[in-house]
Copies of this chain bind each other. A is one copy, B any other.
């Protein structure tokens, strides 16, 4: 899509991989936006003003001057990237991109992102062992998939990579050592380079 200045405001928390996805895609596509910082730890997603934008009380929210609010990180990046090279033109590759984006939100984020939040931000010591097992299983599945591929779908960067790198690049903050999943480690660096963002794990 194309956007005028001030047409898009991203309400997000800079420590959230889900929010950073939106920033990465907007930057990659050269879309102008304003960023409003929302501190989840300070319950700024629980205010009446925020809940009016997103009753689910979750960041990110993309507020479009023309259309109103849009929630769910992967829905936002699908909308921003429509018609761009971040979405495969081939119908089945596009379907596989959707598959990985739903897998990310159903399997990966609820394990890897939650484990990172508990360990790095809440400094919890009584970690649910199931959270560690599920996180390791998600990374192993990714590592197997990447053993013979440079990108999750096809042979180039797509939204599947953006969605999955968002929290994988913070694996060390979940105390998951990506050296144990070397194809994932290589892929994280590749995607960070493609997106022109810093190497979070180094």
Q: Are B99 and A102 in touch, CB under 8 angstroms?
A: no
Q: Are A91 and B1 in touch, CB under 8 angstroms?
A: yes
Cross-interface CB contact of A75 among B72, B79, B98, B110, cutoff 8 Å: B98
A67-93 contacts to B (CB < 8 Å): 67, 70-76, 78-79, 82, 91-92
Report the separation of the CA atoms of residues A144 and B99 in the bound assembly, to the nearest whole angstrom: 29
Cross-interface CB contact of A78 among B72, B76, B95, cutoff 8 Å: B95
Contacts of A82 in B (CB 8 A): 91
Q: Which residue of B lies closest to A137 (CB)?
A: B56
Report the separation of the CA atoms of residues A78 and B102 in the bound assembly, to the nearest whole angstrom: 11
Contacts of A181 in B (CB 8 A): none
- Given the known A-B contacts A75-B102, A110-B110, are A70 and B55 also in contact in the complex, defined by CB atoms under 8 Å? no
Report the separation of the CA atoms of residues A76 and B97 in the bound assembly, to the nearest whole angstrom: 11
Contacts of A64 in B (CB 8 A): 92
> How far does the Cβ of A68 sit from chain B's closest Cβ, in whole Å?
8
Instruction: Give the interface size bracket for A toward B.
Output: 20 to 34
A100-117 contacts to B (CB < 8 Å): 101-103, 105-107, 109-110
Q: Which residue of B lies closest to A72 (CB)?
A: B102
Report the separation of the CA atoms of residues A109 and B106 in the bound assembly, to the nearest whole angstrom: 9
> How far does the Cβ of A46 sit from chain B's closest Cβ, in whole Å?
13
Q: Are B74 and A107 in touch, CB under 8 angstroms?
A: no
> How far does the Cβ of A82 sit from chain B's closest Cβ, in whole Å?
6
Cross-interface CB contact of A72 among B1, B73, B79, B99, cutoff 8 Å: B99
Q: A55-B145, A72-B98, A102-B102 are in contact. List 13 more A-B contacts (CB 8 A).
A: A55-B141, A55-B144, A67-B92, A70-B96, A70-B99, A71-B103, A72-B102, A72-B103, A74-B98, A76-B95, A78-B95, A78-B98, A110-B110
6 chain-A/chain-B pairs, Cβ below 8 angstroms: A72-B106, A73-B102, A74-B98, A75-B98, A102-B105, A110-B110
